[in-house]
């Protein structure tokens, strides 16, 4: 196959992945402020999109080391080809869409790693994978990230309630936490932009270097940064409302003090880890924080059934996207026809998932308040008028 | 640095940062309430978790806040001190957050 064509295909696919990454992760920053009413749903996704856009331009440090050494590369290692990157991206996109359809906040980075690892195993063999790095950079953080974020959020929630606690009947001013939520969730969105957009920049830069269009060891080009920033911002603006619903009320009922504590913990954990050169999944940190803050508020309940489903999604992400990446790589290795087949099957799956999602639409209208709408209709008129006489008769019958 | 130490450092740093920011803001709110400036929030039409649902309820909430203000046992000086303390807490909290932003932007610290 013409090398230029495969490079173009990888770039297009990488941008599609970036888009799915954006809408998959809107919930990380914006589910709690939407749930507590700190921001209107549309305003929240717009703010998140703008901050993701800005965030993508702020830092490109991580972009150079996208595979982070998990797949051995370089002169003495195994060269990963654009065909394999293409196959890995298909695996990652399909898994991202499946988890979105199920409303599960799974890690986009794990989907990407899984897809690439699966493709590399089929294309090169198991020797392509550095198990030590895989354990220390992906598996261990996956286990520990929710635990760290959860305990931080638990403590922060306890603190927030303890400090603002007053005698019963006295106003505690906790509604004021909603103002703070606007800032804390924005910080999470900004952190997300600096982290996640770079993964796609890294993929595209890798492909350009592999194709000989860019000198090795150089950072991402300006047009790569711009297109990636736009793709992730557009994805964020589209909003993964299904996942927002899971994070905003599926795991626990979020109150403003709790939401603020959860977002601050998410932001602090992401910032601390990336500042100390340790990559934690934004999604797992955010979900862990929401559950931790639920445990920290007296009288609140965590829906463990849903939390279990979310955790299952995390465990499955790496192997599942790996299998999909491997399958796509198997086809891609046949040659141009295989790559064409990959593209066709990928498109069919994506269209099918979108078609399936239309059967029950979740949007900014009903992501959080579909049940509350019903409740509000009832609550608006506290003392309903007596029904007309003839209706009363009907009731009596 | 081995992996366990790294995790402990991340956990410790996150805990410290989140605790400082949340405590400062909560303390600010507490002092603001003590000073008689209870934040009452506009009714949100779309929300799930907020208890204020209608304008009438919001007015009731504001009335309650006003009553609490009147019943405040603090002297005027104490109220002023509490208000000043509240603002100081908010400023410190904002500085902590800005420092966080500074940390995630490598361009700012080389």
DSSP letters for A269-284? HHHHHHHTT----HHH
CB spacing of B13 vs A268 below 8 angstroms:
yes
Is residue A381 predicted with pLDDT exceeding 70?
Answer: no
Which tokens in the block code for residue A332? Answer: 């891609």
In angstroms, what CA-CA distances link B54 with A204, A377, A380, B45, B61? 51, 11, 7, 8, 11
Q: How many residues does chain A have?
A: 397
Q: What share of chain B is helix, strand, coil (3-state, %, to 5)?
A: 75, 0, 25
pLDDT at A64: 55
A368 touches chain B (CB under 8 A): yes
Based on C-alpha coordinates, what's the Rg of chain B? 20
pLDDT exceeds cutoff 60 at A386: no
Per-residue pLDDT of A257-295, as tens digits, reads: 888 899 899 988 887 877 766 667 788 888 889 889 888
- The pLDDT assigned to A325 comes to 92
A170: distance to nearest CA of chain B, Å?
Answer: 7
- Of A259, A201, A215, the closest CA to residue A28 belongs to A259
- A interface mutation test: which of B3, B29, B44, B107 has the most A CBs within 10 A? B29
Which residue in chain A has the smallest CA separation from B70?
A170
pLDDT of residue A384: 40
- Most confident range (mean pLDDT) of A30-34, A148-152, A381-385 is A148-152
Q: Which of A37, A140, A155 sits opposite B15 (nearest CB)?
A: A155
C-alpha torsion angle, residues A289, A292, A297, A300 (rounded to 10): 100
Give pLDDT < 70 ranges for chain B. 1, 40-55, 57-58, 69, 72, 104, 106, 109-110
What is the C-alpha separation between A152 and A162, in angstroms, rounded?
Answer: 15
Residue A160: list chain B partners with CB under 8 A: 22-23, 25-26
What is the Cα–Cα distance from A168 to B88, expressed in whole angstroms? 27
CB pairs under 8 A between A and B: 176
Nearest-CA distance A344 → chain B (Å): 40
> φ, ψ for residue A107 (rounded to 5)?
-80, 125
pLDDT tens figures, A87-104: 999 999 999 888 888 778
* Lowest mean per-residue pLDDT among A31-35, A235-239, A374-378, B94-98: A374-378
**Chain mean position to CA A13:** 18
CA–CA min distance B75, chain A (Å): 18
pLDDT class for A65, splitting at 50, 70, 90? Answer: low
The confidence score (pLDDT) of residue A60 equals: 64
Question: Rounded to whole angstroms, how far apart are CA atoms B14 and A196?
Answer: 20
What does the pLDDT read at residue A68?
47
Task: Return the residue of A nearest to B29 by Cα.
Answer: A173
Residues whose CB falls within 8 Å of the CB of residue A114, separated by 6 or more in sequence, listed in order: A91, A92, A95, A317, A318, A319, A320, A321, A322, A325
The mean pLDDT of A24-35, rounded to a whole number, is 80
Angle A41-58/A177-210 helices, nearest 10 degrees?
50
Q: For residue A26, how many C-alpha atoms fall within 13 Å in the half-sphere facing its CB?
A: 34
A171 token code pair: 């106003």
Averaged confidence pLDDT in chain A: 78
A250 vs B: CB within 8 A: no
Q: Which residues 80-109 of B are in CB contact (within 8 Å) with A?
A: 93-94, 97, 100-101, 103-107
Tokens standing for A201? 């920049």
Residues of A in contact with B19 (CB under 8 A): 155-156, 159
* Set of chain B residues whose Cβ sits within 8 Å of the Cβ of A376: 53
* Structure confidence at residue A43 (pLDDT): 84
Cα(A374)–Cα(A362) distance, integer angstroms? 16
Is A187 in contact with A263 (CB distance < 8 Å)? yes
At residue B59, the pLDDT reads 76
Say yes or no for a CB contact (<8 Å) between A160 and B22.
yes
Which position has the higher pLDDT, A102 or A235?
A: A235
Q: Is the pLDDT of residue A188 over 80?
A: yes
- Tokens read off for A370: 């579909």
On whether any CB of chain B is under 8 Å from the CB of A139, the answer is no
Residue A41's pLDDT is 81
**So what's the pLDDT on residue A265?**
93
Determine the Cα–Cα distance for residues A96 and A224; give it in Å rounded to an integer.
Answer: 22
Read off the tokens for A66: 């996208």
Q: Residues of B with CB below 8 A from A170's CB?
A: 68
Task: Considering only the beta carbons, identify the residue of B19, B22, B47 that sits closest to A36.
Answer: B47
Q: How much is the pTM?
A: 0.78
pLDDT of residue A369: 43
Q: Residue B19 and residue A136: Cβ atoms within 8 Å?
A: no
Burial A56-89 (b: 16+ CB within 10 A, else e): bbbbbebbbebbbebbbbeeeebebbbbbbbbbb
* C-alpha distance from A152 to closest chain B C-alpha (Å): 5
Does A56 touch chain B if contact means CB atoms closer than 8 Å? no
| Sequence-distant contacts of A226-229: CB under 8 A, at least 24 apart | A227/A15, A228/A14, A228/A15, A228/A18, A228/A56, A228/A197, A228/A198, A228/A200, A228/A201, A228/A204, A229/A52, A229/A53, A229/A56, A229/A57, A229/A193, A229/A197
Judged by CB atoms closer than 8 Å, whether chains meet at B46 and A368 is answered as yes
Q: Which of A50-54, A197-201, A381-385 has the lowest mean pLDDT?
A: A381-385
Percent of chain A topping pLDDT 70: 80
Residue of B nearest to A195 (CA): B104
pLDDT of residue A374: 32
What is the ipTM for the molecules in this complex?
A: 0.77
What pLDDT score was predicted for residue A55?
A: 84
Across residues A240-264, what is the average pLDDT? 77
pLDDT tens readout for residues A290-326: 889 888 887 777 778 878 887 888 888 889 999 999 9
Q: What average pLDDT score do residues A238-266 get?
A: 78
Q: Do B49 and A254 touch (CB under 8 A)?
A: yes
Output DSSP code: residue A175.
Answer: G
Say yes or no to pLDDT of A362 above 80.
Answer: no
Q: Is 60 exceeded by the pLDDT of residue A33?
A: yes
What is d(CA A51, CA A49) in angstroms, rounded to the nearest whole number? 6
C-alpha span between A274 and B105 (Å, rounded): 11
Q: What percent of chain A is modeled with pLDDT above 90?
A: 11
Q: How far is B90 from chain A (nearest CA, A)?
A: 10
pLDDT > 70? residue A71: no
Give B84→chain A minimum CA distance, Å: 17
Residues of A in contact with B3 (CB under 8 A): 136, 140
Greatest alpha-carbon pair distance for chain A in Å reads 89
Confidence of residue A397 (pLDDT cuts 50, 70, 90): very low
The alpha carbon of residue B89 is apart from the nearest alpha carbon of chain A, in Å, by 13
Inter-chain contact B50–A164, Cβ cutoff 8 Å? no
pLDDT of residue A2: 56
Examine the pLDDT at A168 and tell me if it is beyond 90. no
Q: Residue A167 half-sphere exposure, CB side, CA atoms within 13 Å?
A: 4
Q: Kindly indicate the confidence band of residue A74, based on its pLDDT and cuts at 50, 70 and 90.
A: low
């Amino acid at each position: 196959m013409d090398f230029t064509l495969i490079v173009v295909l990888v770039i297009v696919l990488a941008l599609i992945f970036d888009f799915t990454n954006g809408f998959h992760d809107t919930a990380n920053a914006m589910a709690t402020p939407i749930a507590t009413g700190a921001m209107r749903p549309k305003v929240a996704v717009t703010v998140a999109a703008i901050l993701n856009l800005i965030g993508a331009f702020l830092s490109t440090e991580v972009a150079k080391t996208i595979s982070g050494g998990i797949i051995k590369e370089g002169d003495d290692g195994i060269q990963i080809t654009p065909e394999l990157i293409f196959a890995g991206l298909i695996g990652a996109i399909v898994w991202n869409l499946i988890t979105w359809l199920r409303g599960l906040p799974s890690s986009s980075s794990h989907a990407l790693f899984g897809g690439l690892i699966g493709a590399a195993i089929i294309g090169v063999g198991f020797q392509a994978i550095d198990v030590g790095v895989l354990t220390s950079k992906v598996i261990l953080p996956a286990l520990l990230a929710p635990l760290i974020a959860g305990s931080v959020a638990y403590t922060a929630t306890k603190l927030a309630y303890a400090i603002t606690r007053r005698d019963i009947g006295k106003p505690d001013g906790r509604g004021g936490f909603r103002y703070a939520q606007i800032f804390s969730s924005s910080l999470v969105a900004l952190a997300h932009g600096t982290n996640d957009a770079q993964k796609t920049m890294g993929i595209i830069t890798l492909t350009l270097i592999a194709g000989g269009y860019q000198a090795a060891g150089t950072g991402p080009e300006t047009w790569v940064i711009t297109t990636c920033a736009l793709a992730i911002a557009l994805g964020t603006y589209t909003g993964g409302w299904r996942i927002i619903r899971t994070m905003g009320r599926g795991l626990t009922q979020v109150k403003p003090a709790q939401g603020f504590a959860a977002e601050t913990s998410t932001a602090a954990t992401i910032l601390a880890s990336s500042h100390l050169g340790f990559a934690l999944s934004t999604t797992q940190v955010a979900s862990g924080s929401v559950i931790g803050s639920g445990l920290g508020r007296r009288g609140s309940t965590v829906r463990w059934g849903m939390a279990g489903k979310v955790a299952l999604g995390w465990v499955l992400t790496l192997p599942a996207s790996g299998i999909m990446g491997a399958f796509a790589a198997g086809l891609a290795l046949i040659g141009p026809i295989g790559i064409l087949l990959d593209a066709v099957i990928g498109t069919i799956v994506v269209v099918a998932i979108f078609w399936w999602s239309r059967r029950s639409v979740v949007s900014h209208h009903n992501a959080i308040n579909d049940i509350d709408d019903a409740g509000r209709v009832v609550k608006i008129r506290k003392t309903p008028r007596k029904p007309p006489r003839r209706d009363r008769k009907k009731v009596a019958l | 640095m081995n992996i366990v130490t790294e995790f402990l450092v991340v956990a410790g740093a996150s805990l410290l940062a989140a605790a400082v920011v949340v405590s400062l803001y909560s303390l600010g709110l507490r002092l603001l309430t003590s000073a008689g400036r209870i934040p009452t929030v506009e009714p949100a039409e779309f929300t799930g978790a907020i208890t204020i649902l209608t304008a009438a309820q919001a007015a009731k909430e504001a009335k309650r806040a006003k009553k609490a203000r009147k019943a405040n046992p603090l002297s005027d000086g104490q109220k002023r001190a509490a208000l000043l303390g509240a603002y100081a807490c908010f400023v410190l909290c904002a500085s902590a957050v800005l420092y966080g932003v500074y940390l995630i932007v490598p361009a700012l610290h080389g």
